Amino acid sequence: MVSNNVNKIYIITHNDLDGMGGAASILRILNKKLNDSVIIFAEPYNVEKAIEGIIDSINKGDYLFLVDIGSNKNNINNVYNYFKIINKKGVEIYWFDHHVWDEKDIQLIKSTGTNVIVDTSTCGTGVAIKYASKIFGKDIDNFSVKLEKAICASDIWKWDDELGGKLFRAAYANGNFNGLEWKFRVIEKFINGVIWDEEMEEHLKQYIKKELEGYDKILSTLKTYGNTCKVSGVFKDTDIPSDSIVGAMILSRSNSDIAVIIKKKGFNLVSLSLRSRDRANVQIIAKNLGGGGHPKASGASLTIPLYVTLISVFDKSFLIKYVIKNIYSIALNNNSCLLNEKS
């Protein structure tokens, strides 16, 4: 049980609906309000920065939760070192995740005294609900069951709940101040047992309007490479539509095995959102590039040669073709397509 001596609940969670649902679920289970917590949104590739930001503030009696964030080979050792420091302060650390981990990474983090729970059978919200309830001796209520089903429907591409698509769109917010404010507002709704209301409905309408405006621009950049293992990619420079929705449209329109959504991240760096059908495992591709995720939805970054960077200023199709050929090659070399082509 959580004692009255707990000063603060720190939650580092993924920057999406699943992360929001997981954070809210933990606070509901602990019977805590938003003001009782510090919530930081992060990605696997920068989670050590989020930990670094709280390491001087977190104290004995506090709890630290990481939710819906997978391990990352580029920073796992830094995370390990930070956790050793935090554990010595008398802070309990829990890591709830549903991404694919290497067993050695699980054991490394566990060796710091951290409670690591990885369950790939559900979404991050589901892991938080299932295991936090068990750890802290709470029953799982009907709202939590409903929330898990709706969020998992979109996050792990089950689409088996009518609220899933609506909630996925309505909860979406970009990274600016207003977007962050909306994320906290949605979390607060979930904490209070509200999964849908008029404000969410209005946000959904605004999202759909922007979504429709963005489709033509993004899909006009669509390029495809390969035959048996077919890879298609687009360039995306808008927040809306979301990567998951764009990925689904690419796979459907091009009948591809792998969809790649390319976004500019730096001068010669792009971020890649990878989506797939049943015949391809994009988690293997993402891991090869230092990223991670799920078999059907993963993310990573890719450094682009100078000549490609310069040409792509005037011709985005050149960049797209370069990226999808690289993804195609990685897919074949790492057996991430179940029916591979002969090279």
* Amino acid symbol at 294: H
> Which residues on neighbouring strands pair with residue 337, listed in sequence order?
280
Is residue 295 within 8 A of residue 282, CB to CB? The reply is yes
- pLDDT for the residue numbered 209: 86
Sheet with 231-235: list strands edge to edge. 223-225, 231-235, 258-266, 269-276, 297-303, 292-293
DSSP 3-state of 44: helix
Span 18-30, average pLDDT: 97
Peptide bond into 295 cis (omega under 30): no
- pLDDT for the residue numbered 20: 97
| Confidence category of residue 339, pLDDT binned at 50, 70, 90 | low
Q: Dihedral (C-alpha) 152, 154, 160, 163: value to the nearest 10 degrees?
A: 100
Q: Is the dihedral of CA 244, 312, 302, 263 positive or negative?
A: negative
Span 144-164, average pLDDT: 92
333, two tokens: 């070399």
| Confidence category of residue 2, pLDDT binned at 50, 70, 90 | low
Whole-number Cα distances in Å, 192 to 26, 38, 163, 278, 331: 12, 17, 18, 37, 44
How far apart (Å, rounded) are the C-alpha atoms in residues 70 and 274? 16
Tell me the pLDDT tens digit for each residue of 271-313. 999 999 888 999 999 999 988 888 888 999 999 999 999 999 9
- pLDDT for the residue numbered 212: 84
Percent of the chain with pLDDT over 90: 76
* Domain locations along the chain: 9-196, 217-333
| Confidence category of residue 178, pLDDT binned at 50, 70, 90 | low
Residue with tokens 């969410």: 200
| Confidence category of residue 341, pLDDT binned at 50, 70, 90 | very low
- pLDDT for the residue numbered 343: 34
Residue with tokens 């939805």: 297
Tell me the pLDDT tens digit for each residue of 68-127. 999 988 899 999 999 999 999 999 999 999 998 999 999 999 999 999 999 999 999 999
- pLDDT for the residue numbered 45: 87
The residues, ordered by sequence, that sit 6+ positions from 131 with a Cβ below 8 Å of its Cβ are: 96, 117, 119
301, two tokens: 């970054």
Question: Is pLDDT of 158 > 50?
Answer: yes
Given the candidates 3.40.50, 1.10.530, 1.20.120, 2.40.128, the CATH classification of the domain at 9-196 is: 3.40.50
Classify burial at 336, counting beta carbons within 10 Å of its beta carbon; exposed 0-12, middle 13-18, buried 19 or more. Answer: buried
- pLDDT for the residue numbered 179: 83
284, two tokens: 């293997």
Mean pLDDT for all residues in the chain: 91
Nearest-CA neighbor of 19 among 41, 48, 38, 51?
41
How far apart (Å, rounded) are the C-alpha atoms in residues 314 and 317? 9
215, two tokens: 């489709």
Question: Is pLDDT of 66 > 70?
Answer: yes
For the chain, how many residues are written? 343
Report, at the CATH architecture level, how domain 217-333 is classified. Answer: Roll (3.10)
25, two tokens: 């679920």
Is residue 13 within 8 A of residue 70, CB to CB? The reply is no
| Confidence category of residue 211, pLDDT binned at 50, 70, 90 | confident
Span 311-316, average pLDDT: 93
- pLDDT for the residue numbered 195: 97
